[in-house]
Amino acid sequence: MGSVDKTLFLLRRGGDTPIVRIYVDDIIFGGSSHALVSNEREFEMSLMGELQFFLGLQIKQGPEGTFVHQAKYTRDILKKFDMGDSKPMTTPMSTNTALDADEDGEAEFRGMIGSLSYSTATGPDIRFAVRLCARYRASPRTSHRQAVKCIFGYPKFTPELGFWYSSGSSLFLRGFSDADHAGRRIDRKSTSAHANS
């Protein structure tokens, strides 16, 4: 069992590592060899074949590597929030977008922010814009709705954007962070962000 994630199980056998991931009633088996993964037959469950969908993620596996994206999820949230006709945007947000505070709250805005936040799992390029708009989810204004509409247009322009993991390559995780030090116009709060590669 993982020390941080109690739903991730690993077993080291020589140079091989079988991996089991459990989420409610969904189980994923993986490993460095096919023989290790074949142990799933010892459990009582329905086998669905090679992993293609998991928690809103689409997975395409091939001999060269694995591609993870959220094209279906993107189409679903565009439809859910009636943004199917929105203009495709080449960037998630303009650099001169001004967001102001207001007292007019709206539940739909919070739902839009939540849906966009989940889509950052395979679209980190929208993370900054989504988090910036998320500051105003308790009291959104027209400028915030316009900014969110623009963010929705970006995944429409790049629906198949995702992560590519090459077979045989070593995975080295790097993290970066930055802050603007009191850059928010309204209350001089800082904006910080991080990225992993």
Query: What residue type is assigned to position 96 of the chain?
Result: N
pLDDT in tens, 41-77: 565 666 677 888 888 889 998 888 889 999 898 889 8
Q: Which residue has the higher pLDDT, 145 or 46?
A: 145
Q: pLDDT band for 128, please (50, 70, 90 cuts).
A: confident
Calculate the average pLDDT of the chain: 79
- Exposed/middle/buried for residue 92 (C-beta within 10 Å: 0-12, 13-18, 19+): buried
For the full predicted model, state whether its pTM sits above 0.85.
no
Summarize the confidence of residues 177-183 as an average pLDDT.
74
The 3-state DSSP composition of the chain as helix, strand, coil percent (nearest 5) reads: 30, 20, 50
